[in-house]
Amino acid sequence: MVTVHDKSFEVYIEKTRLEKEIKRVASELMDSYGERQPIFVGVLNGAFMFFSDLMKEFDAPCEVAFLKASSYRGMESTGEVHFKDAELEQLKGRDIVVVEDIVDTGTTLKALFEQIATFEPASMAICTLLLKKEAYKQSIPIDYVCFETENKFLLGYGLDYDGYGRNLPEVYILKD
Ligand code: IMP
Ligand code: MG
């Protein structure tokens, strides 16, 4: 168990399960993108740990880029999405795989998708470590998912609670 700020969390997805599902998704990505020299776009800050582990399993030529989005304050999605530091000009005509830590309502993803589309990539796919299936409200297909999760607040392996907990090596869930 860990405590961050005022809340307690327990382990939800252990390291060995993370490794197994990341390998599975990386191999699916190899099948689709092994010959296409894709650009993987990591959504900061949350995706940093997943992105790093996923990329180590993608054994073919590719580029990486990052963009920064934030829509959460504390434990609630604010609904607004802010982007910074985007390297979007280089995406024109390329096969893009957006790499997210978690898809919750999908608000962030939709805004991101629309923004990336304006740069005219050849194709766009979404890869996420975690999907809160019950909370997801958009119609954009989520092409690569490591884990479908409960609709509860998660922490660790990149995910934060008000800035803290991103460095935890496993995924934790809020204790009732
Ligand atoms: P959405 O826009 O509602 O899909 O929320 C997406 C973003 O909110 C994610 O990229 C995370 O940064 C954050 N988020 C959503 N659910 C959680 C959670 O359970 N724990 C920590 N951050 C979360
Ligand atoms: Mg995020």
pLDDT (tens digit per residue) in 22-60:
999 999 999 999 999 999 999 999 999 999 999 999 999
pLDDT exceeds cutoff 80 at 81: no
Ligand nearest, relative to CA of residue 171: 1
Q: Hey, CA dihedral for 149, 153, 156, 160, is it positive or negative?
A: positive
Q: What is the mean pLDDT of residues 15-19?
A: 98
Question: What is the mean pLDDT of the segment spanning 55-67?
Answer: 95
Indicate whether residue 12 lines ligand 1 (CB < 6 A): no
Based on the residue annotation, tell me whether 104 is a catalytic residue of this protein: yes
Length of the chain: 176
Q: For the chain, give the mean pLDDT.
A: 91
Say what the pTM is: 0.92
Neighbours of ion ligand 2 (CB under 5 A): 46, 101
- Which one of 6, 104, 162, 176 is the catalytic residue? 104
Averaged over 100-125, what is the pLDDT?
A: 91
Q: Is 127 in the pocket of ligand 1 (CB under 6 A)?
A: no
Q: Which of 143, 127, 152, 148 is nearest to 17 (CA)?
A: 148
User: What pLDDT does residue 155 have?
Assistant: 98
Band the pLDDT of 114: cuts 50, 70, 90: confident
Q: Which residue has the higher pLDDT, 115 or 23?
A: 23
Specify the residue with its C-alpha closest to ligand 1, atom 11. 102
Closest alpha carbon to 46 in 3, 95, 1, 98: 98
Q: How far apart are CA 51 and CA 43, in angstroms?
A: 9
Residues 6 or more apart whose CB falls under 8 angstroms from that of 127 comprise 25, 29, 54, 97, 98, 99, 100, 143, 144, 145
Distance, in Å, from the CA atom of 126 to the CA atom of 100, rounded to the nearest integer, reads 8
pLDDT at 120: 92
Average pLDDT over residues 139-161: 97
Confirm or reject: Cβ of 99 under 6 Å from ligand 1: no
Euclidean distance between CA atoms 153 and 149, whole angstroms: 10
